[in-house]
Amino acid sequence: MQFPEYRARRMRRSESLRRLVRETRLTTDGLVYPLFVVPGKGVKREIPSMPGQHNVSVEKAVESAREAFDLGIPGVILFGTPEHKDAVGSEAWDDKGVIQRAIRDIKRAAPDLTVIADACFCEYTSHGHCGVLADGEVDNDASLDNLARTALSYAKAGVDLVAPSGMLDGFVGTTREALDEDGFEQVGILAYSAKYASAYYGPFRDAVDSAPKHGDRRGYQMDPANAQEAIREVTMDVAEGADIIMVKPALAYLDVIARVRDEIDLPLAAYNVSGEYAMLKAAGLNGWVDYDRVMMETLLGIRRAGADVIITYHAKEAARLLAKSP
Ligand code: PBG
Ligand code: ZN
């Protein structure tokens, strides 16, 4: 193709021409909205570093999930905080924990909404690490036993997908086995397969008070420098029974999303994380960028990179805009 026979601008001249040749479409279909569930009643507390997002008690979480469903969003993902943290994070597998209650009540209020529950321990442990400690390090295999308990407890509450997020070796296989042994072979697994040790999780850790009290997560989450390794991680999770694989965060890792899309034949999710949300919000609230347009361009970029599913705090705002001009 050569100028002047070919003129690229011809197909950009009107909105209808642009719509005809558009390659990627952002729809509400792939969006998942995260909810932060806390103990108590009537709680709806804005998270300071995530304007527009809240810590909510179970009944408020049900309201918010119902609203997401009414906006056409197909799924929510739940994060919980316990009444009391302890060394092993035992409230994570308490059948009466906030997540378990939220799963039951949301499925009752909106049976057709997909309910996903994040399965990790950093929100539940006094030390803030994603498992049981032995000599100051996360003891992989001991933590897997607790993960199995937690996944089962979510399944009994009626969850659709369990999402193990601790980056423990074998976390997908353990979850799959535990679910199958108890007759929950229809409960799926959304695997946090390539989860990087990222500073972009800062606002999330404020929201659920899960920052490690000592050290950091670089001993289990991935080194941001590695893309090749992401393929190995994903390949292992596929072999262990993942139904959806995930890359997290999204924006500094669009190349990883694209690479996984090319090489792996499973539905792919990207997590547009708290720090990514906070940056857009801050710039938008200051009037430094056109928030709505920057948000839609960002989500479209994640979709164009190859993500089928986008977990994003922008989900409701995006769904409202898409309803106005799809
Ligand atoms: C828990 C977990 C984290 C996030 C999702 N699950 C934080 C972490 O690993 O410290 C981050 C989500 C976000 O930043 O939006 N393991
Ligand atoms: Zn964790």
Q: Which atom of ligand 1 is nearest to the CA of 195?
A: 9
Q: Which residues of the chain have a pLDDT value below 50? A: none
Q: Can you give the pLDDT at residue 119?
A: 98
Q: Can you give the pLDDT at residue 325?
A: 82
Summarised one tens digit per residue, pLDDT across range 131-154 is 999 999 999 999 999 999 999 999
Quick check: CB of 156 below 6 Å from ligand 1?
A: no
Q: Can you give the pLDDT at residue 326?
A: 65
Q: Can you give the pLDDT at residue 16?
A: 97
Query: Who contacts 281 (Cβ-Cβ below 8 Å, separation ≥6)?
Result: 50, 51, 52, 291
Spacing, Cα 184 to ligand 1 middle (Å) = 26
Q: Would you give the distance in Å from CA 305 to the centre of its chain?
A: 17
Q: In this structure, which ligand is nearest to the CA of 124?
A: 2
Q: Can you give the pLDDT at residue 69?
A: 98
Model-wide pTM > 0.95: yes
Strands (E) in 171-308, as ranges, are 188-195, 244-248, 268-272
- Report which of 314, 318, 324 is spatially closest to residue 52, judged by C-alpha positions: 314
Structural domains in the chain plus CATH codes: 8-324 (3.20.20.70)
Spacing, Cα 200 to ligand 2 middle (Å) = 14
Strands (E) in 47-180, as ranges, are 54-56, 75-80, 114-119, 133-134, 137-138, 161-164
Instruction: Name the residue type at position 218.
Output: R
Quick check: CB of 92 below 6 Å from ligand 1?
A: no
Q: Can you give the pLDDT at residue 1?
A: 86
Spacing, Cα 224 to ligand 2 middle (Å) = 17
